[in-house]
């Protein structure tokens, strides 16, 4: 073999070794990164735009994250109601991100999705090498109730509040909240579109809210609340009867019996039967009498005529006043008194001595 041919053979061998080494380097396996940390899911809606937000603990070796959103497969779900991984459905959306969080929007009310997150690195040819997946379920709430209607008890009725509303899109169940809570119930879960809170307080303002919700397993997705307020009526209370007695030339004692359920009493007065509108006194729930002293009168001999009425109260509510009562202060007799003869104590006149006249 000539030297020239030997050089050609050696060159060919060197090139073959170089190509082989390059090929081995290109085929070296890139290890996948560690899976992401704990995955947390948040669902909600903003002006009718339903969204799913996902966040996770970062993987230190990752160069990025690949995420998928799929409809969950409910047909082959487990007995506990939690759907399976939804792998038979095509992804609704995929997102590539360098941050450990994504948001999917434009979704549907009352739906079950699966969110899958894989960390990845790139091999020498720029191909993604994926970690093991981490996935969880995302349950979107039904649409909110559009209008909540309340009917409260009227005056004289046992206090209640009835709530009603139209069925919300995708809703199966609802939860009602009452503030302040009633004696027997502060919340009600129902599949109906009306419920009634009973055993409430008279003359009290209540706020009621209703949310639609969808629940699978331990996941309960609740809509934004619809709220309304209502005031219960007052009890049936009859204003008491008022009695009066003049006690001095310028004072009248007023008395009344307690009215069942009343929280107080209002007494008004005037100088004529048509003008009983001046506030005289606000009595407590346990008071039954009051003495009215007429301080602005220049009458010192009594006989002053005053008119009164009384009304029972429950909280800030005042019942119809009683009938008007006419009362008179004690009157002093100022005419000169002419005593009778029986009242006079006159000494008897001395009798003259006429005994000597008969001698």
Q: Which domain holds residue 50?
A: 39-139
Contacts of 135 (CB under 8 A, 6+ apart): 39, 85, 114, 115, 116, 117
The predicted pLDDT at position 356 comes to 61
pLDDT, one tens digit per residue, over 217-269 is 888 899 999 999 999 998 999 999 999 999 999 999 999 999 988 999 999 99
Q: Note whether residue 236 is domain-resident.
A: no
Q: Are 289 and 262 in contact (CB under 8 A)?
A: no
Average pLDDT (25-54) is 88
Question: Has residue 102 been placed in a domain?
Answer: yes
Which CATH number is 132's domain given? Answer: 2.60.40.10
**Does 249 map to a domain?**
yes
What does the pLDDT average to over 9-32?
Answer: 61
Residues 226 and 266 in one domain: no
249 with 323, same domain: the answer is: yes
Instruction: Name the average pLDDT for the chain.
Output: 86
pLDDT at 81 over 50: no
Q: How many domains does the chain have?
A: 3
CB neighbour burial string for 202-221, b if at least 16 within 10 angstroms, e if fewer = bbbebebbbbbbbebeebeb
The arithmetic mean of pLDDT across residues 317-337, rounded, is 85
Q: Is the same domain home to 220 and 247?
A: no
Could you give the percent of the chain with pLDDT greater than 70?
78
Point out the least confidently predicted range of 8-17, 150-159, 306-315, 319-328.
Answer: 8-17
Pairing of strands 134-139, 148-152: unpaired
Given a cut of 70, whether residue 151 has pLDDT beyond it is yes
Rounded mean pLDDT, 32-57: 95
How far is 359 from 355, CA to CA, in rounded Å? 8
Q: How confident is the model at residue 324 (pLDDT cuts 50, 70, 90)?
A: very high
């Amino acid at each position: 073999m000539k030297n020239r041919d030997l050089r050609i053979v050696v060159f060919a061998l060197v090139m073959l070794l170089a190509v082989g080494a390059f090929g081995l380097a290109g085929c070296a396996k890139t290890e996948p990164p560690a899976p992401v940390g704990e995955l947390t899911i948040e669902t909600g809606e903003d002006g009718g735009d339903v969204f799913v937000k996902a966040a996770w603990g970062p993987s230190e070796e990752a160069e990025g994250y690949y995420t998928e959103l799929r409809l969950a497969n409910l047909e082959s779900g487990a007995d506990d109601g939690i759907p399976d991984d939804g792998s038979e459905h095509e992804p609704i959306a995929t997102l590539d991100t360098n941050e450990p969080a994504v948001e999917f929007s434009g979704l549907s009310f009352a739906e079950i999705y699966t969110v899958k997150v894989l960390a990845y690195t790139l091999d020498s040819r720029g191909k993604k090498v994926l970690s093991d997946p981490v996935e969880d379920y995302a349950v979107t709430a039904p649409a909110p109730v559009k209008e909540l209607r309340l009917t409260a008890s009227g005056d004289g009725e046992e206090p209640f509040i009835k709530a009603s509303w139209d069925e919300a899109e995708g809703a199966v169940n609802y939860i009602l909240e009452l503030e302040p809570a009633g004696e027997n119930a502060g919340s009600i879960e129902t599949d109906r579109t009306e419920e009634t809170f009973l055993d409430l307080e008279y003359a009290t303002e209540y706020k009621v809210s209703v949310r639609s919700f969808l629940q699978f397993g331990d996941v309960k997705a609740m809509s934004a609340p619809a709220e309304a307020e209502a005031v219960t009526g007052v009890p049936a209370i009859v204003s008491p009867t008022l009695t009066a007695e003049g006690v001095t030339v310028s004072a009248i004692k007023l008395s009344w019996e307690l009215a069942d359920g009343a929280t107080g009493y209002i007494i008004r007065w005037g100088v004529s039967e048509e003008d009983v509108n001046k506030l005289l006194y606000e009595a407590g729930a346990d008071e039954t009498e009051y003495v009215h002293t007429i301080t602005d009168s220049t009458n010192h001999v009594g006989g002053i005529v005053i008119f009164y009425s009384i009304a029972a109260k429950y909280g800030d509510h005042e019942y119809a006043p009683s009938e008007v009562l006419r009362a008179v202060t004690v009157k002093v007799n100022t005419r000169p008194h002419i005593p009778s003869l029986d009242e006079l104590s006159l000494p008897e006149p001395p009798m003259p001595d006429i005994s000597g006249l008969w001698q």
